[in-house]
Structure 1
Amino acid sequence: MADTSILGDDVVLTLNLQDDGTIQIKQSDLAKLLPTVDASTGDWLVSGVDSGVRARADTVAISSSTFNWVINGSDTGVTALGAQGTKGNNGDAGVSFAINSVTIGDSASVTNSGTTSDVKLDIVLPKATDGKNGITPSFKIGTVTTGDSASVTDSVDGTTHTLSFVIPRQDLSAYTATDALTKLLTDKVDKSTLTSYYTASQMDTKLSNKADLSMVANIVDKDTVATLSDKVSKLQDQVNSQAQTIVKLQDQANTLSAKLATPTTQESR
């Protein structure tokens, strides 16, 4: 039976009888009936009111520093340790170990020449067998490049070892700021893209036979020269044609003069 001191006698829900004789209860109606838990106090909340009744069990632990019982995070001051027991009997004496001897024999063995509490070990190591003749390897340097981290790669061909080294790139950030370095590298080309370099005197020699751009700007282009040449040719043809016409007129004038001179001669006779 529910504790009326917790729930109280307040009416929190009135249900209406439906026409078909049933009673409908919505989820929202059930939410009004169900109590909730206060997250801060851990008590039951009934109709939004703290009932003062714990809804959660107490947490119990033992403090690692005081060894007292801790309930809900608070040290109770009550020790969780039991009373100290009676002192036990002394244990057996410890065992000491020492290497007594190490010799060479046909097979390996270990023998205790002492007692169970004072162990002295006599160790026999097997004889070593003759090994094969070794081969002296040779080493040479392969490539040396720069990279993000240092590394060495060994390429083996028979007894020859070729070592290729990768040396980390030097960090220049401590010497030049990033923005300053960007300005210095603007419009610069990599040296590997240049085919040759020239001294100042070589540059002067190469530039001595070069025309200044201001002079080149005043020179007519190829199409303009071709157009002028065509016009000159046509003008020359016209001059030649006029010259031929003048020669014909001159011949006609000479013929006419000859005809005019003939009657005058006859009259004079």
Structure 2
Amino acid sequence: MNNNYHVPVMLEECIDALAIKPNGTYVDVTFGGGGHSREILKHLGPDGRLIAFDQDADAQRNIPDDDRFTFVDQNFRYLKNFCRLHDAIPVDGILADLGVSSYQFDQADRGFSIRFDAELDMRMNQADTLTAKEVVNTCSETDLHRIFGVYGEIQNAKSLAKTIATARLNTPLNTIADLKNAISSLIPRGKENKYLAQVFQALRIEVNQELEALKDFLNQSAEVLGTGGRLVVMSYHSLEDRLVKNFIAKGKFSGEVEKDLYGNDKKPLDAVSRGAITATEDEIKNNNRARSAKLRIAVKK
């Protein structure tokens, strides 16, 4: 087990939120370093089951040796298919921790981090073909404007897109250093890290289709959960949190809740917690990643 892989954020709160039944069936859709999964297994009896998803090949080194555990090397957007394949529907609880693991950030060659120079990669799944390098070098200026504006929530997204489109005419932007140099004039003084983090977030979301995958996952989670089953989702930026919040509140990602013939809300889940749960000051001191984490809990009606 690789202990530097990822310190789980709000581990105790996540486990409490699942309200684990010893003989239940649970799904950890973001296995990563396996911290959450190992904790879930401690709460399961001999008849309990845990299925874990992770598309990152590196995560497979952390698989626990446990008969109750099944590993699925897929993106969680295929939740329903693989739960069906493993004869695990309905499930009693689903946990999703949407953060990129600190381990992935620390692998310089994966190109997730602004701290290292490397090829612009950012694929969570190394078998995928689309890389960040391809996005910055081949996407139209209009698409880049959308990617940085929507996924990065960057104020000067339009100038950023134009600057990149102009820079790549002379020479392709292949590495993190190439990209940083090309956009250096646009980076606000004193806010370099925050700005670059937003640029990287935008590219990462585009490369991995993270928001589309999250929507697919949320829709399927409502179908896979049994009545009274729990959905526990931790997100780290407002785009993800908004999708989770809307889905729990309305059963969809935008617009108003639909009503049935009798005027009842047509939505599969009810929120368990009022608003989002956030980490304690102590935890934030020990683990900076906890600062932006928001935990939401829902129960299947």
TM-score for both structures, normalised by structure 2 = 0.15
Structure number with greater CO (CA < 8 Å, separation at least 6) is 2
Larger fraction in strand: 1
Greater radius of gyration (CA): 1
Larger fraction in helix: 2
